[in-house]
Structure 1
Amino acid sequence: MYKIMLVDDESEVREAIRESIDWPRHGYEFVGGYANGAEALEAILDHRPDLVLSDICMPHMDGIEMTKQVAQAAPDTKVVILTGHDEFDYAQQALRLKVHDFVIKPITPRELRALLDKIKIELDREAEERDNMARLREQLQESLPLLKERFLECLVQGAIGEEEAERRFAYFGLVKPVPPLVALAVDIDQLNDGSRERWENNPELQRYAAYKIASETTEGRDALVFRTKEERVVVLLYGFPEEGGEAEISQLAESIRRSMEKYMKFTVTIGVGAPCSSLSDIPWSYEASLSALDYRFLLGNNRVIRLQDLERPSSYSCPPDYEWNRKFASALKTGTHRETHLLIEQFIGQLKSSPLPLEVCYVRIQSMMIDVVSSIHELLGESGNWLRQLGSALQHIDKFHRLEDVEAWLKNISCEAIELIADRRSDLSQLQVRSAIEYIEQHYREESLSLMDICNHVHMSKSYFSTLFKQHTGQTMMEYVTRIRLETAKTLLQANPPIKTYDIAAGVGYGDPQYFSVLFKKHVGVTPTEYRDAMAKESTA
């Protein structure tokens, strides 16, 4: 119900009006009738009525003066002036004072009820508007932290002009940062076994914890701390000393990192941008802090990364590492897990310690992945889904959070390949070695016989064939050829009639009889002539 007062110096009029209206029925509570403006003003200030019906001509304080003071002291109170025909000049003054309405006396109960109903509709509308505004103000208060964060995010992204930024700093009650300034981007690392149970099902709480730690660590410093839509925490530091300031920034970042690990039991990586000399340059510093975070892929988690420590102006190329590729292919072919893993670790270690920009590192990784899968595909053909795995890995290379993830992928795919190669190796390698031996037995008499001839025959590389041949025969290929030749020579040395030594040498693939004699003695222990004589004695004994 709305409160209503009546002011008139005639008591009969006051009583008649009061008795003629069923006030509650029309939505009002009658809180009093008063004989003059002075009494009424005091009551108005006490009761704060919604509506006052007032005569104009009254002793002590007339209705015009009372209305003037009500407008200043209780502006939400509406005043309706009751005036006679001879008070028209007063009524004009009342209009200038913006009274709500004025009514010519005498007024009938019916006219008064209609007036009250009309004003109640207005009061209802105004009350609804006040309620709506109150709700909006409440919602605004609740949204202010988020609105402030979105403003600061727009600021570091360069999406807001200086003039608008000035206005919003004032609106949110924030101190405008003064140069020098620097942006720190704090990003939560992937959960490890120690933190997964605590935080895996509470990502929102974890992000809030990161924000609180950063806020508490920077408390008392010139800093703005906020969260972005990507759920990073950004620390905007300003006003630090130019001399020694970078060391102070690094120490603060390190303090935030340690506090996260110590108190929250999860880790963060912090990218530190480059200091800048004006607020308009802060997007550049923020972008640098995000670029620094990207190097987590190379350097690992739980660390502070300063971009200026990593990227130096230079010209970088990405030449293919043929020697590494050769060694890796050889290790795959020979099925040595340890060697392939060592080569992968060597590659990853070189990337970690290199000054290469991140983009070049990605190219090196992609190139290496292609080389690895190409080697596997060359060995196994269509067996396995290597090419599909490669395509998926290259397409989603940005999903590898750290170099260790790439290392694990490469080791896993290499192990799969080696196991499959091992399953095939026994039968296949035996066939290849048997084919090589048959070729040797057919061509050992040719002086020009070489390792390359045999490898071409079995379609294998020299290094792989040499390793495989020794695994199956216990000898190198040249040792095997030498043995075959010398065994044949020993048989020929026992021939009757005797064959000349130089003819035997030529017959088993040695064009130089002297070299043949030296080689024969080295392996048999006697010269060809001594061997012939010894065999002749044995046959006649």
Structure 2
Amino acid sequence: MYKILLVDDEPEVREGIRESIQWDTHGFELVGDCTNGQEALEAIERLRPDVVLSDIYMPFMDGLELTKHVSERYPFTKMIILTGYDSFEYAQQALRLKAYDFILKPITAMELRKLLDKVRQDMDEEKKIREDYTKLQQLLDQSLPLLKERFLERLVTSFLSINEIRERSEYFQITWPTSNYIVMVMDIDDFGSYYSESDLLKDAELLRFACYNIIGDLMDYYTGITFRTREERMAVILCGDQENQLYENAYKLADEIRQCIERYLKFTVTIGVGRVCASLDQLPLSYEGAVSALDYRFLLGKNRIVSIVEMEGTGPEGKPVPELNMDWSRKLASAVKAGILSEAEAQIEQLMRVWKESMMPIEACYLNLQKIVVVLMNVVQEMGGNEITLFTERGIVLADSYRFKTLDEIEHWVKGIIKLVVQFATEQRSDLTKLQVMRAVEYIEANYHSEEISLQHLCRHVLMSTSYFSMIFKQHTGDTFVEYLTRVRIEKAGELLQETQLKSYEIAAKVGVADPHYFSVLFKKHTGMTPTEYREKVARERQQ
């Protein structure tokens, strides 16, 4: 319901208008009527009407002057002027003073009702626009911190013009001293062991915010601004007049941040410090340097302050990048196949030391890591396994290497893969050994009667060296080759003594023993009886 105020110095006009309109049906409430502009101005201050319906000719203050005051003080209040034909020029002046409309006297009730409906419709639309604008303004106000952070992120990642930087800075009420600038980038190493996994599921974002707040508190003692990036890192743009002093302040602030976070939040951050630049449009160069410095955490470890200025002198420029050669790969594969875990791990440890000492770039590290994983996958494949199934069933994905932040973490990850492959190789080798021993036993069972059977013949059959075969055969059967062959021959001879009437020398020949006397000695050694005694004993047992 809108409020309307009626202003006219003629009582009969006011009464006629007041009584001829059902105000509420048109969405209005008549809050009062006044006899002149001065009285109306006081009522407007008190009642704050939405519409003022006023005559032009009135004593003390006419409608034209009233319109001027209302347009200046109450811009959302609509003035409707009542005028006669002879005051048309005055009405034009009123319109120039931002009066909503004017109507000619005499006016009928129907004309007035139509006018009220039109005013209400216009005011409804304006109200909706104002409400929408208010909501948008509220949303904008709520989004300003985020928009400010996105601007600062663009400032350090894109080469913006000085004019754009100034305009956007003014909008966000950011003041930049005309001096030198340096960018620092902070990244949480990990949340350490102080927090449980369930705590981190609930509070990881809270911990990041607490970390950001600590940085903000410390920034009270420095000139600059801090913000968060979309990669969940925190950045600081530090300002200063002297380049050397600015570097000193950056290191001091970085150390304060690192120590406070470790002390109060129980986890660590690594901080990269970029190069000093002399203008805001060159901030991307400083930011790029800070991010590059932060990447050295991969080689140096966590909880550090790394300056790109200090690192660029020890970087890999001009130095050959150590790469994996075929000889190294063959040694690793051989150690893994042989199941010598300690030797394989020692190779990895030595390789990581070389990478750290040479300050090998991260990209080269990742490339060589992929080569190591490929070597291990080939070992699995060569030993008859499915390398894809073996790795994926245990949640090992090649891309996992990119989620680690230090070379020490990578080393632990690679050793875990090596341990898995060594275990697989040991199991496969054990299964293969069993198969080879079974083939050897089958060969002995089929050829025990041959005088030509020998360890050399058998090893050629199973494609193994005599020394290795002798070792695994003893492990799986408990006998040496000769002991097992002799036992088989004696068992077969015993069967022939029970089932045939062959002579001892004939049985000896059938089981591969050329010397009958030697056969008798062997038989008695293993059974405690001569062949004749054994046959007689079997015969007596059958008669009972």
Alpha carbons 1:45, 1:74 under 8 Å: kept: no
Which residue identity does 2:119 align to in structure 1? I
Alpha carbons 1:183, 1:272 under 8 Å: kept: yes
Moved more, 171-180 or 150-159: 171-180
Q: Which residue of 1 aligns with 2:303?
A: 302
1:45 counterpart = 2:45: yes
- Distance change in 2, residues 1:356/1:40 (3 Å): same
Q: Which residue of 2 aligns with 1:105?
A: 105
- Distance change in 2, residues 1:157/1:75 (3 Å): same
Shift of 1:90: 2.1
SS at match of 1:189: strand
Q: Which residue of 2 aligns with 1:207?
A: 208
Alpha carbons 1:310, 1:355 under 8 Å: kept: no
1:385-464 matches, within 5 Å, as 385=387, 389=391, 394=398, 396-423=400-427, 424=429
Alpha carbons 1:91, 1:102 under 8 Å: kept: yes
Moved more, 321-330 or 163-172: 321-330
Shift of 1:354: 2.6
Q: Which residue of 1 aligns with 2:83?
A: 83
- Distance change in 2, residues 1:18/1:422 (3 Å): closer
Gaps of 5+ in 1: 435-440, 443-457, 473-541
1:344 counterpart = 2:348: yes
1:270 counterpart = 2:274: no
> Residues of 2 paired with 1:167 and 1:413: CA distance?
54
Q: Which residue of 2 aligns with 1:217?
A: 218
Which residue identity does 1:382 align to in structure 2? G
Q: Which residue of 2 aligns with 1:130?
A: 130
Which residue identity does 1:168 align to in structure 2? R
> Residues of 1 paired with 2:244 and 2:306: CA distance?
20
1:89-488 matches, within 5 Å, as 89-158=89-158, 160-176=160-176, 178-196=178-196, 197-239=198-240, 241-311=242-312, 312=315, 313-320=317-324, 328=332, 331-332=335-336, 335-371=339-375, 376=379, 381-383=383-385, 385=387, 389=391, 394=398, 396-423=400-427, 424=429
What do the CA deviations read for 1:297-342 (whole angstroms, capped 9, x no partner)?
2223332222333333424333446775566456446543333323
Shift of 1:170: 0.6
Alpha carbons 1:181, 1:276 under 8 Å: kept: yes
What do the CA deviations read for 1:262-316 (whole angstroms, capped 9, x no partner)?
2223332222222222211111221222222322222233322223333334243
Which residue identity does 1:204 align to in structure 2? E
Moved more, 353-362 or 220-229: 353-362
What do the CA deviations read for 1:361-407 (whole angstroms, capped 9, x no partner)?
33443444445555x459x5334628975997555532343323322
SS at match of 2:220: coil
What do the CA deviations read for 1:170-195 (whole angstroms, capped 9, x no partner)?
11111135442122222223333322
> Residues of 2 paired with 1:100 and 1:412: CA distance?
81
What do the CA deviations read for 1:23-42 (whole angstroms, capped 9, x no partner)?
22322222222211122122
SS at match of 2:190: coil
Q: Which residue of 2 aligns with 1:536?
A: none
SS at match of 1:195: coil
Moved more, 348-357 or 415-424: 415-424
Shift of 1:44: 1.9
Shift of 1:138: 0.9
SS at match of 2:54: strand
> Residues of 2 paired with 1:300 and 1:22: CA distance?
82
Which residue identity does 1:290 align to in structure 2? V
What do the CA deviations read for 1:183-238 (whole angstroms, capped 9, x no partner)?
22222233333223432333332332222222122123222111222222221212
SS at match of 2:29: strand
> Residues of 2 paired with 1:135 and 1:417: CA distance?
61
> Residues of 2 paired with 1:83 and 1:427: CA distance?
113
Alpha carbons 2:84, 2:105 under 8 Å: kept: yes
Which residue identity does 1:183 align to in structure 2? V
Shift of 1:168: 1.0
- Distance change in 2, residues 1:459/1:183 (3 Å): farther
Alpha carbons 2:336, 2:344 under 8 Å: kept: yes
Shift of 1:119: 0.9
Which residue identity does 1:338 align to in structure 2? S
TM-score by length of 2: 0.72
What do the CA deviations read for 1:491-540 (whole angstroms, capped 9, x no partner)?
xxxxxxxxxxxxxxxxxxxxxxxxxxxxxxxxxxxxxxxxxxxxxxxxxx
SS at match of 2:210: helix
Q: Percent identity?
A: 43
Which residue identity does 1:275 align to in structure 2? V
- Distance change in 2, residues 1:320/1:471 (3 Å): farther
SS at match of 1:219: helix
> Residues of 1 paired with 2:37 and 2:147: CA distance?
49
> Residues of 2 paired with 1:63 and 1:130: CA distance?
28
> Residues of 1 paired with 2:123 and 2:229: CA distance?
44
SS at match of 2:80: strand
> Residues of 2 paired with 1:470 and 1:214: CA distance?
70
Which residue identity does 1:181 align to in structure 2? Y
> Residues of 1 paired with 2:27 and 2:431: CA distance?
101
- Distance change in 2, residues 1:319/1:145 (3 Å): closer
What is the CA RMSD across the aligned residues, in angstroms? 3.6
Alpha carbons 2:182, 2:283 under 8 Å: kept: yes
- Distance change in 2, residues 1:121/1:159 (3 Å): farther
Shift of 1:358: 2.5
> Residues of 2 paired with 1:333 and 1:143: CA distance?
59
> Residues of 2 paired with 1:135 and 1:386: CA distance?
55
- Distance change in 2, residues 1:10/1:295 (3 Å): same
Gaps of 5+ in 2: 441-454, 457-462, 473-544
> Residues of 2 paired with 1:122 and 1:228: CA distance?
46
- Distance change in 2, residues 1:229/1:426 (3 Å): closer
> Residues of 2 paired with 1:341 and 1:113: CA distance?
94
SS at match of 2:175: coil
- Distance change in 2, residues 1:341/1:230 (3 Å): same
1:9 counterpart = 2:13: no
TM-score by length of 1: 0.73
